[in-house]
Amino acid sequence: MRITDARVIVTCPGRNFVTLKIFTDEGVTGVGDATLNGRELTVASYLTDHVVPLLIGRDPARIEDTWQYLYRGAYWRRGPVTMSAIAAVDTALWDIKGKVAGLPVYQLLGGRSREGVTVYGHANAETVDEVLEEVARYRDLGYKAVRVQTAVPGLDATYGVSKDKMFYEPADAALPSESAWSTERYLDFVPSVFARVREEFGPDLKLLHDVHHRLTPIEAGRLGHALEPYALTWMEDPVPAELQEGFRLLRTHTRTPIAVGEVFNSIWDCHTLITEQLIDYIRATVVHAGGITHLRRIFDLAALYHVRSGSHGATDLSPVCMSAALHLDVSIPNFGLQEYMRHTPETDEVFPHGYWFEDGYLHPSEEPGLGVDIDEELAARYPYQPAYLPVSRLMDGTVHNW
């Protein structure tokens, strides 16, 4: 079998997605997600101009060789653009391999290790009373885990709080919008939110919170310590993680579990965090961390150090990424949780897929391959729309971490 063509499809059914579709001389095709929120066209160009020409004529069965060829052969390694492009190729090749074998990809990864993939939903609201209603709604939908985000009093906008309760899309403007941030107000407020939520829902519901890179290690230590009575499953992205060793300071101040990694794109971004057990969950995902091949390496390293998976699963990761993630989630031994932000009906139409939600679990498709495709005709009806993620500034105007 040989690769005969590869198309890069940019579509915007409510938000932008970039998809790579690979074609072979035996009619078998595969798809991979290449979406990088706010930089979609950069990855599309990297694929079109620098990757697709290298794929024509290659044997699609040689997944590892292709991965190494695209990683080492570029000379300029790592980074979100390069690794999202490699991820799309890798994911599409696993899709093809599953179809050729007549098996769902998880069977090629060692088969099932669990009956279903536990997912978490996103309860968010302007007020604590409203967020209690949202948590109840997700619990009643069958979710066993819920992320809780509320507006911080005195701030115009807070990360994770959206008007639309089911579909959260932060890339909200053709040029970056700006929002003010106050660490002091945030730190004073958040523990009271979880006191209310835990009191209302008892000890069994898994609760999570995304700090979204806003704090310093000592501030995060203070927050983690204050949240300990409410037994969160994780406090996410408490601190920007370029300085992995900075988490040593954070770790000494709290027993609240820590989840980091949705912005990571290689095993080197998290090597110290994992091997020094500075985190409890690694949030790297298929589309941004080099595909199934590389993400599996990250999870295997994590398994040696009691670190579990907690993959990113926001609306800006397409159903192609979610389909691939579920094949890993259902098979690896150290699965933790899978984020599940639902897509819009238009997105689900553009990306027909076989995974489904039931009683708090997502289940991967049993079809050969990944069990997802892209309807190119429908995709063409949704042209690209420029959209950027916001920029955060402190109250004095200093640029901060969004």
Distances (CA, A) of 215 to 122, 147, 171, 323: 21, 18, 22, 33
CB of 358 to ligand CS2, least distance (A): 22
Dist. CA 94–CA 327, nearest whole Å: 11
Determine the Cα–Cα distance for residues 76 and 150; give it in Å rounded to an integer.
Answer: 40
**Looking at beta carbons only, is 210 or 316 nearer to Mg ion?**
210
State the residue number with the nearest CB to Mg ion: 210
- Give whichever of 109 and 387 is closer to ligand CS2, judged by the CB atom: 387
Element (H, E) at 181: strand 178-181
Output the smallest distance, CB 366 to ligand CS2, in A. Answer: 27
How far from 147 is each of 53, 197, 233, 389, CA to CA, in Å? 42, 11, 9, 20
Q: Tell me which residues in 194-213 interact with ligand CS2 (CB under 6 A).
A: 210, 212
With binding defined as CB under 6 A, does residue 37 bind ligand CS2?
Answer: yes
State the SS3 of 317-341.
Answer: CCHHHHHHHHHHHCCCCCCCCEECC
> Cα separations (Å) of 167 from 137, 175, 181, 219, 341?
14, 21, 23, 30, 7
**30 touches 5 (CB < 8 A):** no
CB of 338 closer than 8 Å to CB of 119:
yes
Cβ distance to Mg ion smaller for residue 241 or 330: 241
Closest CB to ligand CS2 among 175 and 203?
175
Judged by CB under 6 A, how many residues of this single chain contact ligand CS2?
Answer: 10
Closest CA to 104 of 342, 324, 379, 345: 324
Q: Does 339 engage in binding with ligand CS2 (CB under 6 A)?
A: yes
Q: Which of 108, 314, 378, 395 binds ligand CS2 (CB under 6 A)?
A: 314
Residue 53 makes CB contacts below 8 A (sequence gap 6+) with none
Cα-based distances in Å from 385 to 14, 120, 285: 9, 29, 24
Taking the complex as a whole, how short is the minimal distance between the CB of residue 263 and ligand CS2, in angstroms?
8
Cβ closest to ligand CS2, residue 99 vs residue 209: 209
Helix 319-329, helix 291-304: angle, nearest 10 = 40
| CA dist., res. 131 & res. 121, Å (int) | 12
Tell me: does residue 170 bind ligand CS2 (CB under 6 A).
yes
Does residue 391 belong to the site contacting ligand CS2 (CB under 6 A)?
no
User: Whose Cβ is closer to ligand CS2: residue 269's or residue 339's?
Assistant: 339
Of 70 and 207, CB closest to Mg ion = 207
Query: What is the spatial distance between Cα 217 and Cα 100, in angstroms, rounded to a whole number?
Result: 48
Shortest distance in whole angstroms from residue 314 CB to Mg ion? 7
Adjacent-strand bridge partners of 23: 5, 29
User: How far apart are the C-alpha atoms of 248 and 103, rounded to whole Å?
Assistant: 43
* Interacting span for ligand CS2 (CB under 6 A) from 15-23, 270-278, 308-316, 326-334: 308-316
Minimum distance from CB of 26 to ligand CS2 (Å)?
Answer: 36
Which of 209, 212, 294, 327 is catalytic? The answer is: 212
Judged by the rule CB under 5 A, the positions of this chain that interact with Mg ion are 210
Query: Is residue 316 a contact point for ligand CS2 (CB under 6 A)?
Result: yes
Q: DSSP letter for 244, please.
A: G
In the complex, the smallest distance separating the C-beta of residue 337 from Mg ion, rounded to whole angstroms, is 12
CB of 186 to ligand CS2, least distance (A): 16
314 binds, among ligand CS2, Mg ion, none (CB under 5 to 8 A by kind): ligand CS2
Of 159, 168, 230, 281, which is the active-site residue?
159
Known active-site residue 305: no
Q: Which stretch binds ligand CS2 (CB under 6 A): 40-48, 309-317, 351-359, 370-378?
A: 309-317
- The partner in contact with residue 316, picked from ligand CS2, Mg ion, none with C-beta cut-offs of 5 to 8 angstroms by kind, is ligand CS2
Sites of contact with ligand CS2 (CB under 6 A):
37, 170, 210, 212, 262, 312, 314, 316, 339, 389
Catalytic sites, residue numbers: 159, 212
